[in-house]
A and B are shown apart, each in its own frame.
Chain A
């Protein structure tokens, strides 16, 4: 990818993200009263993260099987409210171990 193209992407990302954060701070005095809009914005992060994680997680590693293992471990640890870094670490371990097993088969 050309450097200029990458820089344009980065510029777009940075500008849009910044404008979203800056506009209300500069322009809005009152709270958002509309219940639908408030609720919508509350649920958006969960919807976005969910949509981005599944099914992309299944192609994130070298093999679908190791990704599945990592996913299963991640979901389990997250289900038990384990800290961010624990969930991630154990998912990574699951992937690594699964790939070793696959190589031995």
Chain B
């Protein structure tokens, strides 16, 4: 069983460092959309997810209905459900329900990936160590980006505003290049997203629902045409 707090910290440091730049980019975008610095930092501290937070920003800026926020967050973060299922099997039987409540908070893509790479089952102490620096990195990066967004000149802000989208591109394009299934899913999502943005009637669909529709349709087509084999 892997239960060393120190090893957790060590494994988490690269993740935390990586989070600094992504969260900085997020902080810039958040301030650009009018969020107060404390709001962005609090959002990052309590959510720990780039995709969900960017979507949340869009909805907040549009003063979306609370129901729309709930549903959008459900769809966008649904993948954590699968990760949590996998993780539930990886945790050692000695992990208590109370510890699981704490562990659940730290289930992000990167933390999950690193934890699954460990041999044997995982203890709570290891996971807590693993979560720590990413949480610190993600929150402080956001704070720095949000604060910077208030003092940097407009030309720099404009350039930095594309950063978070650049990072999203870096996440989706390499797999799309390697897998036809991912490419098709991405293409469908993009096509639908453009359709819902630019077509006269359809553009009335609020952004949260639009993202949901595009994602659900694209992912469903992918799941139907290109079912994924279990990798274990």
Q: Give bound CA distance, A35 to B224, whole Å.
A: 9
For window 72-116 of chain B, which residues contact chain A by CB distance below 8 Å?
73-89, 91, 97, 100-101, 103-105, 107, 109
Q: Give bound CA distance, A21 to B47, whole Å.
A: 11
Q: Give bound CA distance, A89 to B159, whole Å.
A: 9
Contacts of A29 in B (CB 8 A): 88
Pick the residue among B59, B79, B193 that contacts A45 (CB under 8 A).
B79
- Closest chain A residue, CB of each to CB of B165: A57
Contacts of B189 in A (CB 8 A): 46-48, 50-51
For window 45-67 of chain A, which residues contact chain B by CB distance below 8 Å?
45-57, 60-63, 66-67
Pick the residue among A20, A22, A51 that contacts B193 (CB under 8 A).
A51
Chain A's interface size range is 35 or more
Given A24-B88, A87-B167, the answer on whether A81 and B174 have CB atoms closer than 8 Å is yes
A91 and B219 contacting across the interface, CB-CB below 8 Å: no
B211 and A52 contacting across the interface, CB-CB below 8 Å: yes
Q: Is A25 an interface residue when CB atoms closer than 8 A count as contact? A: yes
Stretch at the interface among B5-13, B134-142, B143-151, B177-185: B177-185
A25 and B42 contacting across the interface, CB-CB below 8 Å: no
B51 and A84 contacting across the interface, CB-CB below 8 Å: no
- Closest chain B residue, CB of each to CB of A54: B190
- Closest chain A residue, CB of each to CB of B29: A60
B52 and A17 contacting across the interface, CB-CB below 8 Å: yes
A25 and B162 contacting across the interface, CB-CB below 8 Å: no
A9 and B97 contacting across the interface, CB-CB below 8 Å: no
